[in-house]
Amino acid sequence: MRSVVFDIGETLTSDTRYWGDWARWLGVPQHTLSALVGKVVAEGRDNADAIRIIKPGVDVGAEWRARQATGQGDYLDETDLYPDVRPALSRLREAGLWVGIAGNQNAAVSSLLRGLDLPADAIATSAEWGVSKPNPGFFGRVTVWAPGEPHEIVYVGDHPANDVAPAKAAGLQAAHLRRGPIGLTTSAPDADWTVNSLTELAKLLASL
């Protein structure tokens, strides 16, 4: 094992504030939007479909630009990180592993994550690569980007269909993190490891 690559949303960062901001913008209770996000994701749909349910016919991109125009653009700060992120990533680097962060996010998130000065060797997003999970091309990029042969790279994520299954299909090892609505409600029997926290994962991989 030479590299560990992490998904972003609901692996390193919580989506709580993100969807809370959308709920306030749309004028609905946060729990309503959260429930709809869980519903569409469980059905294998784009999570933006939750917004379309609340506002039928909406152009989500245009709605996002309208939010930006009022100062509600992308931002990340320390409160968006799960508390186990920094210590876990640091422990893996101390164990001699290369640590990467790569997930389905817009390009702005890369610079925002870099601004947090996380203990990672490299950060990338699907927008920068021009391909999103679960497309095999995304994991093809991971195998070129992260040091080591595919079987020496571990991909870590909460989503069995978007993270674990395509990572395994690409020849990577995969860790399923039981975190967030998807991670807690769906199983990943093909994962090499299933863990309840990044602390648990870091201890396990460092011991190997």
Q: Is the sign of the CA dihedral 166, 162, 195, 4 positive or negative? A: positive
99 and 9 in a common domain:
yes
Summarised one tens digit per residue, pLDDT across range 7-50 is: 999 999 998 888 899 999 999 999 999 899 888 877 878 788 99
Using a cut of 0.85, tell me whether the model's pTM lies above it. Answer: yes
Domain count, the chain: 2
Q: Which domain holds residue 131?
A: 3-14+77-207
Q: What is the DSSP string of 9-43?
A: BTTTB-SHHHHHHHHHHHTS-HHHHHHHHHHHHHT
**What are 172-204's pLDDT values in tens digits?**
999 999 998 889 988 999 999 999 999 999 999
**CATH code, domain carrying 192:** 3.40.50.1000
114 shares its domain with 195: yes
At 74 the pLDDT is 66
Give the end of a domain, one of 69, 92, 114: 69
Ordered DSSP codes for 126-168: HHHHT--TTSHHHHHHHHHHSSS-GGGEEEEES-IIIIIHHHH
Contact 173, 153 (CB under 8 A): yes
81 and 61 co-located in one domain = no
